Structure 1
């Protein structure tokens, strides 16, 4: 097992912005002497002051001992130039996301540091192989990608380029762990793990919005409540900043040679072009001005309780929703429907879980006019909200009976236009699919992928474990139907997901891959 950098070895930080300062704070708190350099000396002074203030605040709150905070502050110093890094064992670069600038800085570092010093970059998207290619010793260049804010976010992606030595990546991995972080190994490919696998979270939300299935606040609410994501896609993009989020999407799209799975959104480009960058500009998808009224989800008004409900087969998708209907004390028929896929028949309407087809298509398939589809929920029994869509010929009285039944179960019901896959289902299926593709292509192990998504972007569960929970076959069917509906390569199924669908094995614990 590899050992992390000795505490006696100083750490160098190049770049004194928010990320550089955060990484410096982490290393100093872990016991290293930390030397910070920036082309702007004033930025270093500002960073050292802000780090000291942050450490003292942690001490005031009891999260760090006063003596420990003062010792960490004393371990911080500034370097007038890169020659001040001659004794460091690790340099972490956190400067502008420009390949030429990074190559130039690392080339200068090579002339200043010892031959055993590890050169790490905090890049979120630039190829580690490309950065190292311009150097004399590319084998010691490795990605050490922290997430913002670095002192609070647990994940560190340890990214190996083609030339990176395994022992170098392993030592950086062990170092990150010794600093209290959760490291994962990844291969240098566009977006690494998180920025690649997370793209569908934004892309599918944007497509649902473009197709006018619901407004941004309603989509966000369903993703939070039914999907159990910490934030919906639109509020998260507003928080990140559309300039940053769009740039990452565009970078991954171009690096993947125009793969349509990563196609940027025209809607988001319009926001960037117009300066509507989100919270930092005061307006994005939502208005953040002091007098703005907070946007809220559209919820169906109260509807009457249905006259009778006949549940579908106990094994139907959405069986937990059946449990909630039973627990609500609604009028139930003693007989169950035997029709596959039916959750319940409610006053003439057939309630089913979305499978990637539209409600109108499902109605045609089963020969019924009134079909209501319910979106995916991680747990129908505990969620407070569900979204639904209805077929074109759905009877209004029957639809209202379904709404009334769901409201009696204490669900808030969000109506959506009859769109294929609705919002949560298509997003989670695409996340699982992209995760499977990343593992299949050797970017990382299944275990590191799920850990990265849980710790890096706070997903309620890793996409591969989620596929196992819901059933790999469900997501396979959803993606198949989305591909048929749209006729696009965007929804092509990962070979790994497909293999596990037909093999009948869980994907998280059985996917095997060797990571360089």
Structure 2
């Protein structure tokens, strides 16, 4: 089904930051737009704010003056819901309350023409429930923008049980015509992003609670090794802990307390204390005037290292070995089982077991485990952990090896899967389960996480790159270590492993 014609009137209800942003997007795409808010003067003020923001872009040379003028000319405040009666698409962006939204949609159905599409910008409420009880539930669809709407590319187009596939296709095409990156999702708790992203926060919170490392080090590892735009603690500080914790609780409850989505007691404590992040000046970090930002833990070494022995196939570590060789390290290759030897140390990529457990089970002396990196050629920081009986000198030799190539090292307390590896494995697991349950296609699942939350790679594509077998192995080892259902591998992963298949062929 084609996109809505640019002459189609778009109505937006709710003149807060999200509603105003959506109105701006539609107007900049060429549509006449009416913005309504039940607060007197709020819609007109929102348009004034949009005008001021666009004027700044014109002044900086980022927007043509004519484009600015045309956009504002298309935006009109509406003084009543009745003024929206001739709209072809109405997007509500009001309070996240099921009953309030249902009442609004019911009223709109009585006012608007029979072919008007009613879209909800809800981030978590069921589109099926929102449409239930309406005379024309087929016309109701989710159109979930991300904040700020004019800048964020992703739009989740969400179909409820009764949504007409043609309506969803029309909204998908319309969002694309508006310059957005739309993905199609089925109405399940959290849709795509708010579901699949839960492990990104949860694993860092668990590592902090277990004393594996501090906030600054874990955040730095996700950025500098994992390639994520922000670490979990700085991101939740930015989002606001009241908001992030509420979403986690909502998903947890919606999935009948599935332990994969268990909220964190550490985050609850911040919410209880009113330490909500940047907006309150305190969260995991202190944002008050004069506060000093803590720095990540850097392991230091005075050891001298000139040689690295590679035993057998190095797999994912091959780019790292090439980088070390380029830094002047002499690389010697010989037969073996994929281990690295530097000085007295044995080095291996983590497989999800504790370093001490793996050293005992495989009879490895001075074992140092290495964390995953998105790109070992570019990573500026890596995490390591050591078995309990690893000599300090052996660990220092590993630190010196990576420092030689300009890589900072954060030494973590021995923990299954370290930081980046367990986070990526759990993201891939959640995305795989969403695919198994028909929430979205593999392509859209990956696209949503890249466009919506700026992941360096879609979780399923990342799983393909790591290898399905390794992802399942890491999850199995995490589950064995913790004895929790939280880490159970998705059937979709096990199925692909059994078939020798990938998510993206």
Q: TM-score range by the shorter chain?
A: over 0.9
Residue in structure 1 matched with residue 381 of structure 2 by the alignment? 385
Give the direction of change, closer, same or farther, for the CA distance of 1:32–1:317 in structure 2 (3 Å limit): closer
Alignment of 1:440 onto 2:436: yes
Aligned residue for 2:156, secondary structure, equals: strand
Bigger drift between 68-77 and 307-316 goes to 307-316
What whole-Å deviation, never above 9, does each CA across 1:430-452 have from its counterpart, x for those lacking one?
11111111011000000111111
Distance 2:435 2:44 in 1: 43
Are 2:145 and 2:155, in contact at CA under 8 Å, matched by a contact in 1? Answer: yes
Aligned residue for 2:368, secondary structure, equals: strand
Paired residue for 2:410, among 410, 414, 430? Answer: 414
Shift of 1:102: 0.2
Give the direction of change, closer, same or farther, for the CA distance of 1:309–1:64 in structure 2 (3 Å limit): closer
Residue in structure 1 matched with residue 141 of structure 2 by the alignment? 142
Shift of 1:42: 2.7
Aligned residue for 2:111, secondary structure, equals: coil
Residue in structure 1 matched with residue 52 of structure 2 by the alignment? 53
Taking the TM superposition and a 5 Å limit, the aligned residue runs for 1:261-410 are 261-306=260-305, 308-332=307-331, 334=332, 336=334, 338=336, 340-342=337-339, 344-410=340-406
Are 2:306 and 2:328, in contact at CA under 8 Å, matched by a contact in 1? Answer: no
Residue in structure 2 matched with residue 194 of structure 1 by the alignment? 193
Are 2:221 and 2:381, in contact at CA under 8 Å, matched by a contact in 1? Answer: yes
Aligned residue for 1:159, secondary structure, equals: strand
Aligned residue for 2:41, secondary structure, equals: helix
Shift of 1:308: 4.7
Are 1:369 and 1:395, in contact at CA under 8 Å, matched by a contact in 2? Answer: no
Give the direction of change, closer, same or farther, for the CA distance of 1:341–1:209 in structure 2 (3 Å limit): farther
Shift of 1:323: 2.0
Task: Give the TM-score of the pair, scaled to structure 2.
Answer: 0.98
Alignment of 1:498 onto 2:494: yes
Residue in structure 1 matched with residue 62 of structure 2 by the alignment? 63
Distance 1:5 1:212 in 2: 53
- Ranges in structure 2 where 5+ consecutive residues have no aligned partner: none
Are 1:3 and 1:171, in contact at CA under 8 Å, matched by a contact in 2? Answer: yes
Q: CA RMSD in A?
A: 1.3
Alignment of 1:479 onto 2:475: yes
Alignment of 1:426 onto 2:422: yes
Distance 1:84 1:490 in 2: 50
Aligned residue for 2:334, secondary structure, equals: coil
Are 1:310 and 1:337, in contact at CA under 8 Å, matched by a contact in 2? Answer: no
Shift of 1:337: 5.2
Shift of 1:306: 3.1
Are 2:313 and 2:338, in contact at CA under 8 Å, matched by a contact in 1? Answer: no
Distance 1:331 1:133 in 2: 68
What whole-Å deviation, never above 9, does each CA across 1:245-264 have from its counterpart, x for those lacking one?
00111100100111100000
Are 2:312 and 2:333, in contact at CA under 8 Å, matched by a contact in 1? Answer: no
What whole-Å deviation, never above 9, does each CA across 1:74-101 have from its counterpart, x for those lacking one?
1111111110111100000001111001
Are 1:370 and 1:395, in contact at CA under 8 Å, matched by a contact in 2? Answer: yes
Are 2:301 and 2:396, in contact at CA under 8 Å, matched by a contact in 1? Answer: no
Are 1:276 and 1:282, in contact at CA under 8 Å, matched by a contact in 2? Answer: yes
Distance 2:173 2:484 in 1: 43
Are 1:305 and 1:408, in contact at CA under 8 Å, matched by a contact in 2? Answer: no
Residue in structure 2 matched with residue 512 of structure 1 by the alignment? none
Taking the TM superposition and a 5 Å limit, the aligned residue runs for 1:172-187 are 172-187=171-186
Distance 1:312 1:324 in 2: 17
